[in-house]
Chains A and B, each alone.
Chain A
Amino acid sequence: MIFNSLIFVVFFAIVLVLHAMPFSWRAKKVDLLLASYIFYAAWNPPFVILLWLSTVVDWFAARGLQQAEEQWKRRAWMLLSVVVSLGLLTYFKYGHFLLDNFAHLASLAGFRYASPKSNIVLPIGISFYTFATMSYTLDIYLRRATPARSFLDYALFVTFFPHLVAGPIMRPTELVPQFEVPHRATSDQLRFGLALMTLGLFEKVVLADGFLGPVVDKLYNGIAIPGFVDSWIATFAFSGQIFCDFAGYSVTAIGAALCLGFALSDNFRFPYAAVGFTDFWRRWHITLSAWLRDYVYIPLGGNRHGEVRTYFSLLATMLIGGLWHGASWTFAVWGGLHGLYLVAERLLRKPFSGYRPGCAATAALGLFTFLLVNIAWVFFRAKTFHQAILILSGMFGRNTHAVPVLSGIYLLTTTVIISCLVLAHCSMRSQTLEAAIARVHPAVLTALWTTMAFAIVIQHGESNGFIYFQF
């Protein structure tokens, strides 16, 4: 089930009503757990079994970890959890990719190998809930946390529908304690939660799907040779589309949880106002970058073993982050590019350690960051390297036979939306959304809320899946 579908509206209304009933806290949690399974099964019922498998294996692995005293036993339990979780992820997400690459390598070595045809369907959200359950056993292995006392609380942490299929990637320490004690939204939490859901759905339905998606598809799904203007505008449109799609999902998820009285983590903090790439990754998909930092970058050595090792750890982490997004080398290049950006930033920090940029320089650095982020997005969106190179070539004005692709209205709407988006990010870069909302006059806020809700209603149409579902 996706947030921008009519069935979700009905589903969520029923969940809200049931959660407001005078049932015991345990009954409400069972309600939420069942609702979450229905939410997941509504996409493809058999895949609920995977969710159960992941839940049960990590529950028992965590108990084993807690009871084991010898280090080798603890390591064995941790490995069991990691192998099962990553095994499922690898099979479903990377099975085709690995076989195709193996076949390619074999042909380079002179062997003939045709990978068997299979119809592996990627279970929705597997990357998200796999990381969530892994953080449970890894935190216990690293002695940062103790296992949840109740299986119900733990299962609800894994399955809780607002974050289940596309994050924010929650840690057990963030959510399990909330399920320990009764939670019910106050009236203001409910209303503010609905306002957040309106904002999230506006970003997704109206901006990402309605106005930016068609511009991106026109160029990235076409075969025309694009010029400078078309390449940049379509890529800007994609940067807006992916932000509005994913941040829209996160905001809707946070709003939905808030309507039930629960708090989810921030996942975005105005990333297009980032100055530098360390700053960008503290603002973009925060829960993933923090997960990769805690469970990949730091175990790889982080910044504790000298410069060279730090750069290696950074690059390896970002490459893994790239491949997490999809089983394609274009995603690896996207991750690798961000790794290089981060390495370059670290290298430049030393000679400029005493430099404090003024307003103009900060703005220029922010713009430079935004442009480099867009260059990386080309690899994220392009289906092939050939297409990515063609578009990059257009962005640098090197396509001599370029033809105009995007119509005037596409150029206009994208320019307006992206300018407003970047300006909004810049104006709120040093505060939270809540702090910004608190400063707005209620009449203005009412007008904005109404406009967004009305735009969602008149945009309607077929509900498109969220881009991050495929990851």
Chain B
Amino acid sequence: MASSISSSEETVHQKQDALPSGLRLTAANRPGMAQPVPERDIPQQPWGAMAIAVTVLLLLFTSLWEWKMRTLELIPGDLGRNTDRWAELRKEIDKRNVPVVIVGDSRILYDSDLDRATQLIGVRPVQLGIPGTSGLPILQDLADDPNFKGVAIVGMMESAYFDLTGSREQKAIDLARWESPSKRGSFLIQRALSHGLAMLDDDYKLSTLIFRLDSDWRQGVKGPRHGVWKPQETGSGGQVWLWRRIEHDRRFSEHIRYIWVHYEVPPEPLDDQIIRNISIGTKVAVDKIRARGGDVVFVRPPSAPDVREVEDRHIPRARGWDVILATTHSNGIHFDDLPAAQNLTLPEGGHTTRACATVFTDAYLRALVGKTAFLHLQLDAPPALSTRNCVPPSLTVP
């Protein structure tokens, strides 16, 4: 009888004798019996020499790839659109009293300079913006979190804010609530590695690069090339900017502008019922935060005229921004009403340059100081900035 400690090897060897060379029996060939200890042969090859050659070649190719990625202006330390990083920032609210939080889509995310904010209001806001998402689910998450008693600055690009069809927000919230030790550990290792390697960028991985070769090869289908190639660059402390290459490479900026104008915003006006539902959802969240002593204010970051035209066709200011502020009895700053935010440089029409993000942050925070009790201008705050601080004089409209 076969046993756990002495398997039925005789039977197996008898059968194996009859096998053609290069084959071995598997459990499929041994019905109704105890399975013997598997045999794994090692192919006759110079494994030692091969392993050394593979290691050397792998190091060489990886170094060349890293060099190539750096020539494309990828930089070490950029974590891309990593949700683990977002979850880490979100968990700060559970650990300490966070007085200022920013939520919203990529507009408020890239257009906010957290260092400038710190200089102005004395605290560094926790940046919880997520590209391509509505700020509402995050606002609702904060509303349901008794630890949050500060002010939430909600960035609102209407077509993103009124679109709850995405799942990225919920995935990020879920990750902040529960992150397995394994996922957390992998993220910490990735972050450590990314400080030395620029190539660890999700937007520049092998399959993505190959898929992007498709310039509408098949009639009637927009290929993966029509996605946003690489929109952002992350810095330390939750800072995120528009990717530096988009600021000077017209191929990149025009590509993204084309997407904003043609694909990102639905062409038809948004349904009234959706606007009502989102407004009610926002009011409930705002009321919950205020009931705890916190506050919510809104900010509308700038859009270039051609992009704005498309956005307004879907939800004009009167149907979106004004309705939200009226329903929630909230204060807010729309870039239309902010002189210092006019004529900023928006390379792809939707986000400011890094320098203009500082100017815009300076402008909207100074404007918000009088609109919520949570924001106070520091006595030693730097002087106000204007468009001239980020736009070359030749491009500044007098």
- A293 in complex: contacting residue of B31, B45, B50, B217, CB < 8 Å: B31
Assess whether A457 is in contact with B58, with CB atoms less than 8 Å apart. yes
Assess whether B26 is in contact with A146, with CB atoms less than 8 Å apart. no
Given contacts A173-B2, A450-B54, A450-B57, contact A7 B185 (CB under 8 A): yes
Does any Cβ of B come within 8 Å of A263's Cβ?
yes
Assess whether B189 is in contact with A6, with CB atoms less than 8 Å apart. yes
Separation of A177 and B207 alpha carbons in the complex (Å): 43
Separation of A173 and B24 alpha carbons in the complex (Å): 18
- B189 in complex: contacting residue of A10, A45, A136, A446, CB < 8 Å: A10
Q: What residues of A have a CB within 8 angstroms of the CB of B2 in the complex?
A: 144-145, 173
Q: What residues of B have a CB within 8 angstroms of the CB of A293 in the complex?
A: 31-32
Contact-residue size bin, chain A (C-beta under 8 Å from the other chain) = 35 or more
Separation of A438 and B21 alpha carbons in the complex (Å): 12
Nearest A residue to B199 via CB reads A458
Given contacts A188-B42, A192-B43, A290-B27, contact A406 B221 (CB under 8 A): yes
Does any Cβ of B come within 8 Å of A156's Cβ?
no
Assess whether B206 is in contact with A455, with CB atoms less than 8 Å apart. yes
Does any Cβ of B come within 8 Å of A381's Cβ?
no
Given contacts A43-B180, A450-B61, contact A459 B189 (CB under 8 A): no
Separation of A283 and B190 alpha carbons in the complex (Å): 37
Assess whether A143 is in contact with B1, with CB atoms less than 8 Å apart. yes
- B1 in complex: contacting residue of A146, A281, A408, CB < 8 Å: A146
- B4 in complex: contacting residue of A9, A146, A431, A462, CB < 8 Å: A146
Q: What residues of A have a CB within 8 angstroms of the CB of B339 in the complex?
A: none
Does any Cβ of A come within 8 Å of B384's Cβ?
no
* A1-39 with Cβ < 8 A to chain B: 1-2, 5-10
Assess whether A194 is in contact with B51, with CB atoms less than 8 Å apart. yes
Instruction: Tell which of A107-115, A240-248, A264-272, A383-391 binds the partner.
Output: A264-272
- B207 in complex: contacting residue of A44, A180, A211, CB < 8 Å: A211
B4, B5, B44, B221 — which one has the most chain A CB atoms within 10 A of its CB? Answer: B4
Cβ contacts B98-120/A at 8 Å (1 or 0 each)? 00000000000000000000000
Instruction: Tell which of B127-135, B208-216, B285-293, B313-321 binds the partner.
Output: B208-216
Q: Dominant SS at the B interface?
A: loop
- B50 in complex: contacting residue of A189, A430, A446, CB < 8 Å: A446
Assess whether B206 is in contact with A438, with CB atoms less than 8 Å apart. no
Q: What residues of A have a CB within 8 angstroms of the CB of B180 in the complex?
A: 42-44
Separation of A42 and B219 alpha carbons in the complex (Å): 47
Q: What residues of B have a CB within 8 angstroms of the CB of A308 in the complex?
A: none
Assess whether B7 is in contact with A459, with CB atoms less than 8 Å apart. no
Assess whether A6 is in contact with B7, with CB atoms less than 8 Å apart. no
Instruction: Tell which of B33-41, B299-307, B324-332, B386-394 binds the partner.
Output: B33-41
Separation of A45 and B181 alpha carbons in the complex (Å): 8
Given contacts A177-B37, A450-B61, contact A294 B32 (CB under 8 A): yes
Cβ contacts B177-196/A at 8 Å (1 or 0 each)? 00011110110011001000
Q: What residues of B have a CB within 8 angstroms of the CB of A253 in the complex?
A: none
Does any Cβ of B come within 8 Å of A82's Cβ?
no
Does any Cβ of A come within 8 Å of B200's Cβ?
yes
Does any Cβ of A come within 8 Å of B223's Cβ?
yes
Assess whether B48 is in contact with A263, with CB atoms less than 8 Å apart. no
Q: What residues of A have a CB within 8 angstroms of the CB of B58 in the complex?
A: 450, 453-454, 457
Assess whether A460 is in contact with B205, with CB atoms less than 8 Å apart. yes
Assess whether A264 is in contact with B38, with CB atoms less than 8 Å apart. yes
Q: What residues of A have a CB within 8 angstroms of the CB of B42 in the complex?
A: 186, 188-189, 192, 434
Separation of A200 and B363 alpha carbons in the complex (Å): 54
Separation of A258 and B39 alpha carbons in the complex (Å): 11
Does any Cβ of B come within 8 Å of A404's Cβ?
yes
Separation of A258 and B5 alpha carbons in the complex (Å): 20
Given contacts A172-B4, A173-B3, A460-B200, contact A210 B206 (CB under 8 A): yes
Nearest B residue to A278 via CB reads B28
Does any Cβ of A come within 8 Å of B218's Cβ?
yes
* A258-292 with Cβ < 8 A to chain B: 258, 263-266, 269, 281-283, 286-287, 289-291
Does any Cβ of B come within 8 Å of A407's Cβ?
yes
Q: What residues of B have a CB within 8 angstroms of the CB of A449 in the complex?
A: 50, 54
Q: What residues of B have a CB within 8 angstroms of the CB of A462 in the complex?
A: 82, 202
Does any Cβ of A come within 8 Å of B30's Cβ?
yes
Assess whether B44 is in contact with A438, with CB atoms less than 8 Å apart. yes
Nearest A residue to B3 via CB reads A146
Q: Dominant SS at the A interface?
A: helix
Nearest A residue to B226 via CB reads A407
Cβ contacts B41-66/A at 8 Å (1 or 0 each)? 11111111111011001100110010
Assess whether A144 is in contact with B34, with CB atoms less than 8 Å apart. yes
Separation of A211 and B224 alpha carbons in the complex (Å): 12
Assess whether A266 is in contact with B36, with CB atoms less than 8 Å apart. no
CB of A250, distance to nearest CB on chain B (Å): 12
Assess whether A445 is in contact with B35, with CB atoms less than 8 Å apart. no
Assess whether A147 is in contact with B4, with CB atoms less than 8 Å apart. yes
- A411 in complex: contacting residue of B26, B35, B46, B218, CB < 8 Å: B218
Separation of A246 and B34 alpha carbons in the complex (Å): 25
Assess whether B61 is in contact with A454, with CB atoms less than 8 Å apart. yes
Separation of A334 and B4 alpha carbons in the complex (Å): 34
Given contacts A289-B28, A411-B218, A437-B43, contact A263 B182 (CB under 8 A): no
Assess whether A6 is in contact with B193, with CB atoms less than 8 Å apart. yes
Assess whether A263 is in contact with B40, with CB atoms less than 8 Å apart. yes
Cβ contacts A404-416/B at 8 Å (1 or 0 each)? 1111111111000
Does any Cβ of B come within 8 Å of A307's Cβ?
no
Separation of A449 and B50 alpha carbons in the complex (Å): 9
Separation of A1 and B205 alpha carbons in the complex (Å): 23
Does any Cβ of B come within 8 Å of A191's Cβ?
yes
Does any Cβ of B come within 8 Å of A178's Cβ?
yes
Does any Cβ of A come within 8 Å of B273's Cβ?
no
Does any Cβ of B come within 8 Å of A356's Cβ?
no
Assess whether B206 is in contact with A459, with CB atoms less than 8 Å apart. yes
Q: What residues of B have a CB within 8 angstroms of the CB of A136 in the complex?
A: 4
Does any Cβ of B come within 8 Å of A319's Cβ?
no
Q: What residues of B have a CB within 8 angstroms of the CB of A145 in the complex?
A: 1-4, 34
Does any Cβ of B come within 8 Å of A424's Cβ?
no
Residues on B lying within 8 angstroms of A by beta carbon are 1-8, 20-24, 26-51, 53-54, 57-58, 61-62, 65, 82, 180-183, 185-186, 189-190, 193, 199-200, 202, 205-207, 210-211, 213-214, 216-224
- Beyond A407-B222, A454-B61: 4 further Cβ-contacts under 8 Å? A177-B7, A211-B207, A214-B207, A457-B58
Q: Pick the 3 closest A-B CB pairs, nearest first.
A: A408-B217, A435-B22, A290-B27
